[in-house]
A = this chain, B = another copy of it.
Amino acid sequence: MSTLRSALLQRAYGSDTEANITGNLAAIRQAAGQGAALVVLSELHDTPYFCQIEDPALCRLAQPLPGPASERYASAAREAGIVLVCSFFERRAAGLYHNTAVVFEKDGSLAGRYRKMHIPDDPAYYEKFYFTPGDLGFHAIPTSVGRLGILVCWDQWYPEAARLMALDGADLLIYPTAIGWEPSDELSEKQRQLDAWVTVQRGHAIANGLPVLSVNRVGFEPSPSGRGGIQFWGNSFATGPQGECLCQAPDDKESTLLVELDAHRTENVRRIWPFLRDRRIDAYSDLTRRYRDPA
């Protein structure tokens, strides 16, 4: 391939799981009809973002992988003839759940999975309650459209994750995500948060010479606690390997972004900025330490 047409599906999700899935499948078909060869959904796209509260009963939303829910997406990938990146609440065993991205090949087969490694725990994002930290490490998933470096949401703040995917031969970085504003925050704080979210991911593109696709959900989801909620900020975007912005969705609307990724750009950008050549691997060992505590 010389260019890869990719689709980023920024959607809003409600409490009706079947409606969420049906809408996703329709958006996948539509993107394929527009020539996309790679389609990416946002994080946990079958349900509202349920981690706003800690409730053991919500574990009923978890699904085995493969399982009935994932099979519908596998079929969609096969029927549309596209590579599809999904994100599920994976039930591995009773009391053992993961936040898992799954890649389906264009024949519907499972290309690979990635279990979210960095798990947040902030007010309204109580993910440590639900998700066991991933135990599959950072490995790019080989597909017919390239090696996909799939990372999920909170991972996006970690340069280590992006770098390990680059070292594993990833051709692009993909971040399904679910992030939004606390509505009571000041506008200036909201702007700083959104800007930081975009900037740190553009930084991963630059430091690794890789395109980045970041797909967020959109819309307000009230908290089941009855107080407040999250205004998911959309702004799904794609960059090239110099961090150059290729497209960006609005903060308040569902949107399918179609973007052409130039497979030769990484090669050319890494020739002028050969950062991988000069890494000081002899001096990086303390990256595996929590902190260098004062003596």
Q: Which residues of A contact B (CB under 8 A)?
A: 117-120, 122, 133, 137-138, 154, 157-164, 167-169, 192-193, 195-196, 199-200, 202-204, 206-207, 242-244, 272-273, 275-276, 278-281, 283-292, 294
Taking a contact as CB atoms under 8 Å apart, the answer to whether A280 and B160 are in contact is yes
Contact B280 A118 (CB under 8 A): yes
| A119 to B157 Cα, complex, angstroms | 26
How many Å lie between the Cα of A272 and that of B290 in the bound state? Answer: 19
Identical copies in the complex:
2
Residue in A154, A276, A283 with the greatest tally of chain B CB atoms within 10 Å? A283
Q: B281–A288 contact, CB under 8 A?
A: yes
Given contacts A278-B118, A292-B169, contact A164 B204 (CB under 8 A): no
Task: Report yes or no: B199 in contact with A243, Cβ–Cβ below 8 A.
Answer: yes
Residues of B within 8 A of A283 (CB): 117, 137-138, 164
Highest count of chain B CB atoms <10 Å: which of A137, A196, A272 = A196
Please give, as numbers and ranges, the residues of chain B lying within 8 Å of A275 by CB-CB distance.
157-158
List chain B residues, Cβ under 8 A from A195.
243-244
Tell me whether B284 and A164 are in contact (CB under 8 A). yes
Nearest chain B CB to A44's CB is how many angstroms away?
18
Q: How far is the CB of A279 from chain B (nearest CB, A)?
A: 7
In the bound complex, do residue B278 and residue A120 qualify as a contact, i.e. CB atoms below 8 Å apart? yes
Contact check, B284 vs A287: say whether CB atoms are below 8 A apart. Answer: yes
* Given A120-B278, A286-B167, A292-B168, A196 and B206 contact (CB-CB distance below 8 Å): yes
Partner of A157, one of B162, B164, B207: B207
Chain B: minimal CB distance from A132 (Å): 13
Instruction: Determine the chain B residues whose CB is within 8 A of the CB of A199 once the complex forms.
Output: 199, 202-203, 206, 243
Chain B residue nearest to A275 (CB atoms) is: B157
- Complex Cα distance, B284 from A17, in Å, reads 36
Q: Are B117 and A158 in contact (CB under 8 A)?
A: no
A175 to chain B, nearest CB (A): 14
Q: Which residues of B contact A279 (CB under 8 A)?
A: 118, 158, 160, 290
Nearest CB in chain B: distance from A192 CB, A: 5
Q: Is the CB of A287 within 8 A of B196?
A: no
Residues of B within 8 A of A164 (CB): 283-284, 286-287
Q: How far is the CB of A77 from chain B (nearest CB, A)?
A: 25
Contact of A281 among B159, B204, B243, B290 (CB under 8 A): B290
Pair B287/A160 contact, Cβ less than 8 Å: yes
Q: A196: which B residues are within 8 A, CB to CB?
A: 206, 242-244
In the complex where A167-B291, A169-B292, A280-B117 touch, is A243 in contact with B160 (Cβ < 8 A)? no
